[in-house]
Amino acid sequence: MERPKLLPVHGVAMLDFIARDWSLVESFKARPGDVLIATYPKAGTTWTQEIVDLIQSGVDVEFCKRSPVYERIIFMEWTGINFVMHRKGVEVLNDMPSPRTIKTHLPYQLMPSSFWDNDCKVIYIARNAKDNAVSAFHFNRMNKLHPEPGTWEEYLHRFMTGNVCWGSWHDHVTDWWNMRERHRILYLFFEDMKEDPMREVSRIARFLESPLSEQQLREVVKLTSFPVMRDNPMTNYSTLPTDFLNHSVSPFMRKGDVGDWRNHFSAAQLEAFEQDYKKKMAATDLRLRDSLPCRPASLPLLLNWWNEEQQKEEVETVEVKKWGTFLQPRSFSSSLWPRGCVQEKHNSGKKEKRGEGEVPIRSGLSVCRRQGEFGIASRHR
């Protein structure tokens, strides 16, 4: 299967088949009552789609298994006729009764104006740039309906220049952010959803004017947790042929984590990325988090992978509350991750111990969870 190329639509890089059908997308007629889920690709679209479908159904679990998520909430600008959809997104939507829930990855400036004319509600989800780039890289590897990403280094460079599907991440997140008060936009963050899904699901339900009981909220959070969605054929994209979505290259439900970027960025890549990020984001007050503070209950797990007795003793003397007292010197090698634990003595100027040798003290670091293990991450980047 030949992979598509990118073509510009008003200066934004777009999959060629979407660019060729642009007039169809541009003239799409939104209706009053339509709800839009808008994201930069790989920011948590599917997760939000499932949450919204469950809320809108009154948490009818069986009803939400009626078909795969991409058939329940239609991808507006997807004009490729293929295994995903047998008709173009806009055509399916035109035949659909109201109220409709619609998915898009369009940047704000390419949105059909009918959404604003009809005062439609939008749920926008942003994800920190580094994790978003990593997720998109792996998705491009496994998805033959996207251009070949090349190496991580090559893809990262293109991501930074905005020459990737749906254009610049920086423009996408900031343009939607700037418009959040002009329209009915609920602007959410992937990281907040990971941190406190009850709170964020509840916000979505209130925004949709379908408040849920405590029990229903718990049910939605459980059903939309990463492991449940990973194993649910209606949400994990396993219903599509593997010759174009090849989960053995990288599963669609890959990790669902905050901070996986640490396993991909070299120190040089990180420096270049951060410099470029600062410039591009200088004019906005939008702030995204690329790591999450860790939960106190994780001490026993942390101790599990601490295999030197002396280090164990040191850790055991630390109160569980003080999660900020463990850190790893900034290293981007995943092999160093579990061994790099040290005891932090905030700004004391002393050295700390770690698995191998000694490292200078840094402050403002915190422990964070990573796939059932615990690693240490910088909180202030």
Cα angle value 367/135/67 (rounded, 5°): 115
Cα separation, 152 vs 157, in Å, equals: 8
- Return the residues of window 221-240 that contact ligand A3P according to CB under 6 A: 224-226, 229
Helices (H), 32-143: 45-56, 69-72, 89-94, 114-117, 129-142
Catalytic residue of the set 10, 86, 105, 172: 105
Confirm or reject binding of residue 256 to ligand A3P (CB under 6 A). yes
Longest dimension (CA), the chain: 68
**Is residue 143 within the footprint of ligand A3P (CB under 6 A)?**
no
Each residue 180-219 as x (binds ligand A3P by CB under 6 A) or -, in order, gives ----------------------------------------
Q: Please report whether residue 147 would count as binding ligand A3P according to CB under 6 A.
A: no
Supply the minimum distance, in Å, between the C-beta of residue 312 and ligand A3P: 32
Nearest residue (CB) to ligand A3P, 192 versus 318: 192
Q: Is 105 known to be catalytic?
A: yes
Phi, psi of 369 (to 5 degrees): -90, 145
Q: Which residue is nearest to ligand A3P, using beta carbons?
A: 256
Q: Among residues 207 and 237, whose Cβ is nearest to ligand A3P?
A: 237
Q: Which two tokens stand for residue 314?
A: 């040191």
For the purposes of burial, counting CB atoms within 10 Å of the CB of 43, is it exposed (0-12), middle (13-18) or buried (19 or more)?
buried
Place of tokens 């003080």: 322
Cβ closer to ligand A3P: 222 or 351? 222
Torsion of CA 341, 342, 344, 349, to 10 degrees: -140
The interface mask with ligand A3P, positions 22-61, x = CB under 6 A, is -----------------x-xxxxxxx--------------
CB of 291 to ligand A3P, least distance (A): 14
- Binding of ligand A3P at residue 253 (CB under 6 A)? yes
Candidate list 138, 158, 170, 172; residue touching ligand A3P; CB under 6 A: 138
Binder of ligand A3P out of 101, 135, 216, 311 (CB under 6 A):
135
**Exposed / middle / buried, residue 363 (Cβ in 10 Å: 0-12, 13-18, 19+):** middle
Indicate whether 259 belongs to the interface with ligand A3P (CB under 6 A): no
Find out whether 307 and 299 touch, Cβ atoms under 8 Å.
Answer: no
The length of the chain is 381
- Judged by CB under 6 A, does residue 103 bind ligand A3P? no
Structure token digits, residue 151: 């190496």
Contact 89, 78 (CB under 8 A): yes
Q: Which two tokens stand for residue 298?
A: 């994780």
Residues that bind ligand A3P (CB under 6 A): 39, 41-47, 131, 135, 138, 224-226, 229, 253-256, 260
Name the residues annotated as catalytic.
Answer: 105
